[in-house]
Amino acid sequence: MPPACCCTPSWAIARRPSSSAATHRGGGSPWCNWRRTLPRPTEPQCVLILVNSGPSTPARCAAPFYTATLLACMDAEVTLFLSGEGAQLARREVADSLRVIADGEPLLHFIQQAKQAGVRLLMCRAPGVLIDETALIDELDAISSGGELAQMILEADKVLSL
């Protein structure tokens, strides 16, 4: 089998053996067998990304959408869940104006890339807070509750918090 390279997804590389199992038994490198290619999972992995960063930390806001886009392109089923300050990213005025770096693309650009890759975008409904749905971006799939978030956390294969 071909050796793994920097482009090989982490799920396709076996873990390095412990130091006791890594003794040299003649010929070649003692690590020559640990990087064997594993079979690809038969079902797509379900990844939930909690987005808690918001307009007060603009340098952190594009990373969840960029990461979600990459994972979706690797055939993962990805859901972005905007909560806390991250829920403000679903407001059109914020998504249109917030830039990660000066003169860079607006956050909406990264959101649209994620949606084109098949990422699902949800926003948390804060208890007792009225939401003007006309002020939200079109890319938002649904407004969800904390209970729905808890269920998604339990069902996801991987949960990231960014």
Domain boundaries, the chain: 7-40, 46-161
Q: What whole-number distance in Å separates Cα of residue 111 and Cα of residue 64?
A: 9
> Looking at residue 126, what is its pLDDT?
81
What global pTM score does this model have? 0.73
> Looking at residue 113, what is its pLDDT?
97
Q: What are the distances in angstroms from CA 50 to CA 75, 98, 116, 132?
A: 19, 19, 19, 22
Task: Look up the CATH architecture of domain 46-161.
Answer: 3-Layer(aba) Sandwich (3.40)
143 three-state secondary structure: strand
Q: What is the mean pLDDT of each run of 10 residues along the chain (162 residues)?
A: 44 46 46 51 87 94 96 96 95 95 94 97 88 94 94 96 92
Task: Order across the sheet with 46-51: list the strands.
Answer: 142-144, 120-124, 77-82, 46-51, 158-161
> Looking at residue 82, what is its pLDDT?
97
> Looking at residue 26, what is its pLDDT?
47
129 three-state secondary structure: coil
> Looking at residue 148, what is its pLDDT?
95
